Amino acid sequence: MSYALLDRGEEVVVLDNLMTGVSSLVSPDAEFIEGDIGDLALVRALLRSRKIDTIMHFAGSVVVPESVSDPMKYYANNTAATRSLIEAAVREDVPHIVFSSTAAVYGMPPVPVMAEDTPPRPINPYGRSKLMTEWMLADAATAHNLSYIALRYFNVAGADPLGRTGQSTPNATHLIKRACQAALGRVSHLDIYGTDFDTPDGTGVRDYIHVTDLVEAHLAALDALRRGTESGIYNCGYGHGMSVRQVISAVEKASGRRVPLREAPRRAGDPAMVIADATKLRRNLDWSPRYDDIDVIVSAALRWEQRLNH
């Protein structure tokens, strides 16, 4: 994100506690500060001294199974720390926040394609912690001079087309990254969780969005807030899905190697299909994706994985 902002002439300050972040991936043209968004005094000082006009909030823990086994970590890191960040924004009169939310707020919806008005019913602490942040933002925007846009990510994948950044967490659980690691021999196999879903090939279907198109959605949100667009929530996806087996086929095609597989039972709470209705994002924020192609997404992810040392 910092590269895209810098490319268009923005001044960027990156605050990260490096719990999972990698400081070397921050552009050298951005100011980097190691610290926590829950440190109210630090954040207020930064907002005041750097004259920040917009906060783009990406910080948080994102592994669903871990959120179930360690919920307090997620409510501390995702909810409580964000409450402090919002307070800092209010106290320092920062007018805009763009927030990274998630499709996990929908839980197990009764329909496979979700619009923003689909009732949120998260089924794990990760989804609940993100939904709580959406509620806090809405309440703060009602009470104070603050506007926000929450972007509900579906399945983010790929890497920067210029090779500057990509998914670098060694133990990440994202399907495309894991499939690339398995193809390259960096993990012994890829687990397929569930082969008996009510889908064309029996495996789960998800809406995968290239990270660069997601970055463009953030830029569109930033521009919208600056021109006075009302606060709101937007789905970020393409409106169609790919199955686990289709993703694996794309990885095998890109790598020229077989992905070793192990079939396992469904995980509790895994829906058969999760697809975004992103009509609102396209219509209201004039967003149009450029990388809506699973082969393009997988090829970018594979190129990045080949560059890593783990």
Catalogue the active-site residues.
Answer: 126
3-state secondary structure of 264: strand
Extract the tokens encoding 158: 């790929």
CA–CA separation, 284 and 50 (whole Å): 30
Which candidate, 9, 310, 299, places its Cα nearest to that of 161? 299
Burial of 143 (0-12, 13-18, 19+ CB in 10 A): exposed
For 98, residues 6+ apart whose C-beta sits below 8 A from its C-beta are: 54, 55, 56, 57, 148, 149, 151, 218, 221, 222, 225
Determine the Cα–Cα distance for residues 17 and 84; give it in Å rounded to an integer: 15
Lookup: tokens for 255: 């790598």
CA–CA separation, 171 vs 80, rounded Å? 25
The amino acid that residue 224 corresponds to is: A
Handedness of CA 237, 240, 245, 247 (dihedral sign): negative
The contacts of residue 132 (CB under 8 Å, 6+ apart) are 75, 78, 79
Residue 212 makes CB contacts below 8 A (sequence gap 6+) with 158, 160, 161, 290, 291
